[in-house]
Amino acid sequence: MADDANEPLTLETMAGYLAEGAKPKDQWRIGAEHEKFGFLKDGFGRPDYEGPSGIRAMLMGLTRFGWAPVEEGGHVIALEKKNTEGYAASVSLEPGGQFELSGAPLKDIHDICSETGQHLVEVKMVADELGLGFLGLGFDPLWTRADIPVMPKGRYDIMRAYMPKVGSLGLDMMLRTCTIQANMDFESEADMVMKFRTSLALQPVATALFANSPFTEGKPNGFLSARANVWTDTDPDRTGMLDFVFADGFGFETYAEYALDTPMYFVKRDGKYVDASGQSFRAFLKGELPALPGNAPTLKDWTDHLTTLFPEVRLKQYLEMRGADGGPWSRICALPALWAGVLYDAPSLAAAWDLCKDWDITDHERLRRDVTRLGLRAEVAGRSVQDVAKDMVAIARQGLKNRARFSGGMVDERGYLAELEDIAESGVTPAERLLEAYHGRWNGDVRQVYAEQAY
């Protein structure tokens, strides 16, 4: 493996970095991440970074619970804390001040739900003191781009300048979306390929199950997942369904090649971000990066670059499931339960692949777009997404039964799927329930969502 100090990066070493994530099944972990919108209880505006009710105050308030601040350019931009096993979790800021918990890699969904619950309790305690609330939706329901403060983080300045050059909705992605993600391990290259193909094909089904963003600037927007729609016009170089994943011969090296051909955002040197937006990592390998002529990339540059790719499933030293809208605590627990049930039990993984193995790239792309508006009423290869979703959740349920991971109360992980089972069986997405409230008891006042959906 390449060393930052001396050995030059090559395609082999860059692919090798990805391969180093492989681990035996008994060491597999699950990571959960979720983002949420902060809002001022007085007027529902998004909070600034500074000020008595600002994001910085929120971060510093959480330090009483053992979180250590992380600074950049004199600003606190994240928090970190290690658990008793030495695994780190972090709280970080998205560009518009969305608050993200990146949980530690944990053994089971019981631990994930406990970690998430503890975090939300801590956040609520501090937020109440500051006159803040937090909301779990996929897209900001009320505010325009111009209404939203931008956080003081160097990479975000570069991204904000670059996004409008490559898509019309990239700034919405940065400022007005929130997601839930699950991070999953693999045992080998072959296992990674199987999990990548299955989860990528089924990611739009998860999008439909979790669709929770039907409002923009106070009104219905015509979508059930406006967040997912944003990704269809953010940056085609670094988003999408990655048709090469389904091609013969796909592996770590193929993904490394894809990453090499994805334009860069930045290089970090001496704690500062150097704007390399639109420039080529291949040129960087040759010492010909216009932003840093004569410089060769380090392994850290490569790992930074991997974080700037945004496909529906992302490969690092694990696989990231990226298809779900933000939502309540129950669905933050449900997403990793869904993917653990599908991907961490061999018979369930095989059954899930059977659901989608005959879909072609046209099916994948159409499905990705259709679920943003139609949710579970979309169709793929002659089947309704609702029927596929019911099968997928049932497969996950069997996988969790087979995993047999019990809580202290001797309950296994299947209970975390209950809400998804209800959604799939009814065919009614969370977004459609919000729309029903909007047209009914809310009397067209989207601000009611802050009372009903806040943590």
Alpha-carbon gap, residue 123 to 144, rounded angstroms: 25
Q: Is residue 241 part of a domain?
A: yes
**How does DSSP assign 151-176, residue by residue?**
---HHHHHHHHHHHHH-SSHHHHHHH
Q: Round to whole Å and give the CA distance between 397 and 405.
A: 12
Amino acid (one-letter) located at 354: D
Mean pLDDT of 328-340: 97
Provide, rounded to the nearest whole percent, the portion of the chain with pLDDT above 90. 97
Average pLDDT of the segment spanning 143-172: 97
Please tell me the predicted confidence (pLDDT) of residue 11: 96
If you average pLDDT over every residue of the chain, what do you get?
A: 97
User: pLDDT tens-digit profile of 424-454?
Assistant: 999 999 999 999 999 999 999 999 999 999 9
Single-letter amino acid code for the residue at 268: K
- For residues 281-296, average pLDDT: 96
Q: 106 in a domain, yes or no?
A: yes
Joined together, the tokens standing for residue 160 give 């904000």
Q: What is the CATH number of the domain that holds 420?
A: 3.30.590.20
Quick check: 182 pLDDT over 50? yes
**183: in domain:** yes
**Does residue 3 register a pLDDT over 80?**
no
List, for residues 44-84, the tens digit of each pLDDT value. 999 999 999 999 999 999 999 999 999 999 999 999 999 98
User: Residue 285 domain-assigned?
Assistant: no
CB neighbourhood size of 254 (10 A): 17
| Residue count of the chain | 455
Whether 289 maps to a domain, the answer reads: no
Which whole number is the average pLDDT over 193-217?
98
How far apart CA 403 and CA 413 sit, in angstroms, is 8
Centroid of chain to Cα 274? 25
Bridging pattern class, strands 219-220 and 99-102: unpaired
Tell me the percentage of the chain whose pLDDT exceeds 70.
Answer: 99
Is residue 303 in some structural domain?
no
The tokens describing 23, both together, are 């681990």
**272 part of a folded domain:** no
Query: pLDDT band at 342, cuts 50/70/90?
Result: very high
> Where do the DSSP E strands lie in 94-238?
99-102, 132-135, 179-184, 215-216, 219-220
Asked if residue 39 has pLDDT above 50, the reply is yes
Using the structure block, give the residue that is written with the tokens 């004569």. Answer: 294
pLDDT tens per residue, range 114-135:
999 999 999 999 999 999 999 9
CB of 214 closer than 8 Å to CB of 135? no
Does 279 fall in a domain? no
The overall longest dimension of the chain from CA atoms, in Å, is 65
| Residue 99 in this model has a pLDDT that exceeds 70 | yes
pLDDT digits (tens, 9 = 90+) for 384-437: 999 999 999 999 999 999 999 999 888 999 999 999 999 999 999 999 999 999
Quote the pLDDT of residue 444. Answer: 98
- In tens, the pLDDT along 289-326 reads 999 999 999 999 999 999 999 999 999 999 999 999 99
Number of structural domains, the chain?
1
pLDDT at residue 5 greater than cutoff 70 = no
267 DSSP β-pair partners: 274
Cα separation, 319 vs 215, in Å, equals 30
Averaged pLDDT for residues 326-355: 98
Domain that holds residue 20: 11-262+309-453
| Spatial distance between the Cα atoms of 341 and 28, rounded to a whole number of angstroms | 13
Cα–Cα nearest to 449, from 9, 27, 97, 39: 39
Task: State the amino acid at position 329 in one-letter form.
Answer: W
Instruction: Work out the pLDDT band at 6, boundaries 50, 70, 90.
Output: low
| Residue whose C-alpha is closest to residue 420's, from 323, 348, 333 | 333
User: Residues near 431 by Cβ (< 8 Å), separated by ≥ 6?
Assistant: 211, 212, 213, 214, 223, 224, 225, 325, 375
Q: How many CB atoms within 10 Å of residue 66? A: 10
Instruction: Please tell me the predicted confidence (pLDDT) of residue 149.
Output: 97
